[in-house]
Amino acid sequence: MTQLEINQFKKVLQTKRDELERMVRNRDAITIEKSADALDEVQYASERELAIRNLDRETNLLRNVRAALRRIDEGTFGICMHCEEDISPKRIAAVPWAPFCIQCQEQADRNREESNETFDELLVNAA
């Protein structure tokens, strides 16, 4: 990857970081609102849960974007953190904060799914 391409990705990542930092700071949607109507309470709780999930997703994405910017500074941007092979240019173009090549990402996703299933089984058995 050329220095020009890395600089372009750095600008994209910095813009994304700034956008996510603004979004994460806005926590108005997770405030607890009280209402005399029970249906309104349920609606508020549902909206708050959705806002919390969005905030969690945006926070994780912000963490990944910051990590990608650190990899640029360290000179390891575009290299898979697991197998240390180059990440394909198409993947980097689509997901510039990607820490893994597609094969290692698929394996990480499978491992996460398996561990979630195991955790779910533990919860069911504990009940």
pLDDT of residue 127: 45
Classify 3-126 by CATH class: mainly alpha
The pLDDT score that the predictor gives to residue 119 is: 55
Cα separation, 22 vs 59, whole angstroms: 11
Q: Is the pLDDT of residue 74 over 80?
A: yes
Provide the phi-psi class of 91: left if phi over 0, else alpha when psi is between -120 and 50, else beta. Answer: alpha
Mean pLDDT of the chain: 88
**Do 87 and 78 touch, CB atoms closer than 8 A?**
yes
Quick check: 20 and 58 in contact, CB under 8 A?
Answer: yes
Please tell me the predicted confidence (pLDDT) of residue 112: 84
For 61-70, how does the pLDDT look when each residue is reduced to its tens digit (9 = 90+)? 999 999 999 9
Parse the chain into domains and list their residue ranges.
3-126
